[in-house]
Amino acid sequence: MNKEVRLITGNSNRPLAEKISRHLGVSLCGCEVSRFSDGEIFVKISENIRGMDVFIIQSTSSPAENTMELLILLDAARRASAKRITAVIPYFGYARQDRKDQPRVAISAKLMANLIDRAGADRVLTLDLHSPQIQGFFDIPSDHLFSSSVFNDYFLDLKLLNLVTVAPDVGGVKMCRAFAKVLGTPLAIVDKRRPTPNQSEIMNVIGEVEGKNVVIRDDMVDTGGTLAQAAVALAGKGVKEIYACCTHPILSGEAIERIQNSPIKRIIISDTISTENKKLTDKFEIVSMAKILAEAIKRIHLEESVSDLFERI
């Protein structure tokens, strides 16, 4: 990496930004992100970035201030005459609101894409979007990475026997099918009915799981309700050990308690969302996405193929 690259981070996930920085051998750019007494966000980039290739690393997880930080950082970089600004968003919030499935509701994922574009981003880099079509919401170039390689390697190293990959709902079948193909396992599906947002009712398990070890693969875990209920349904089918892996650990409400009290033996999560302030139990294990993101940043800067990276991961 040459001297024309600058890495900037907000407060949403500084530990991940620091790992990315170490992988690239590029120090984080000096940047002040603070609050006025009334809560307004103040941003000041402390170094000269005129004519630089700038990468702003910021997940848009809760609270909403993280999104505002990203937008203000983008605006500050644009007004500081950066040559190109890439928004690196390990977790893209509001991704579940990607369509108008009820009367008088917003398509918030599209609104977020518009805000990021208008704030000054020239390009977007993100990871495991909840709905892949969100990539088309951006009117600027966007690269959608996958966490596959990290979780694939983890479970290949475990060398679990009689393993079955389980999709926690129909929407996750595509991701789980690819996961199962790499691991060389059969695929099962948990049929789920969701009466209201953040509430789910497990209905049935489709596939042969009795006497097997299973791994539930999902892109995010929010309240933990779906995951815990899926584990209970699988346990009722006579499975041996239950593992789970989820890219984005939102872990809101009583999620940690639900997972802790569930039949899940171990859950592997990534560091796209900071869990520093969450009291994780020993059931949780964290793997890092820093290497994948760092490699993509390097390729974008060097104008190399990012799609070639998909084949490697």
Specify whether 29 is located in the same domain as 106.
yes
**Are residues 96 and 72 located together in one domain of the fold?**
yes
CA dihedral 16, 19, 23, 24 (to 10 degrees): 70
Same domain for 9 and 117, yes or no, is yes
The answer, as to whether pTM is greater than 0.75, is yes
Q: Are residues 208 and 123 in the same domain?
A: no
Do 215 and 141 have their domain in common?
no
Give pLDDT tens digits for 157-171: 999 999 999 998 887
Q: If you search the block for the tokens 């539930």, which residue do you land on?
A: 216
Same domain? For 141 and 221 the reply is no
Side chain identity at residue 151, one-letter code: F
Per-residue pLDDT at 176: 93
Q: Coil, strand, or helix at residue 19? A: helix
140 and 200 belong to one structural domain: no
pLDDT at residue 313 tops 50: no
Q: Are residues 276 and 155 in the same domain?
A: yes
- For the ranges 137-151, 190-204, 210-224, the lowest mean pLDDT is seen at 190-204
Encode pLDDT of 275-300 as tens digits.
999 999 999 999 999 999 999 999 99
Which one from 19, 110, 192, 298 is the annotated catalytic residue? 192
Alpha carbon distance 109, 306 (integer Å): 24
Beta strands in the chain, from DSSP E residues, in sequence order? 5-9, 31-35, 41-45, 53-57, 84-89, 123-127, 142-145, 163-167, 187-196, 199-206, 213-221, 242-249, 264-270, 284-287
pLDDT tens digits for range 23-72: 999 999 999 999 999 999 999 999 999 999 999 999 999 999 999 999 99
- In a shared domain, residues 280 and 296: no
Residue range of the domain that includes 124: 5-146+291-312
Residues 13, 111: one domain? yes
pLDDT of residue 283: 97
Q: Is the pLDDT of residue 108 over 70?
A: yes
Give the domain CATH number at 152.
Answer: 3.40.50.2020
Residues forming a β-bridge with 193: 201
Which pLDDT value is given to residue 191?
Answer: 85
Residue 151 has pLDDT above 60, yes or no: yes
Q: Is 192 considered catalytic here? A: yes
pLDDT band at 231 (very low <50, low <70, confident <90, very high): very high
140 and 156, same domain (yes or no): no
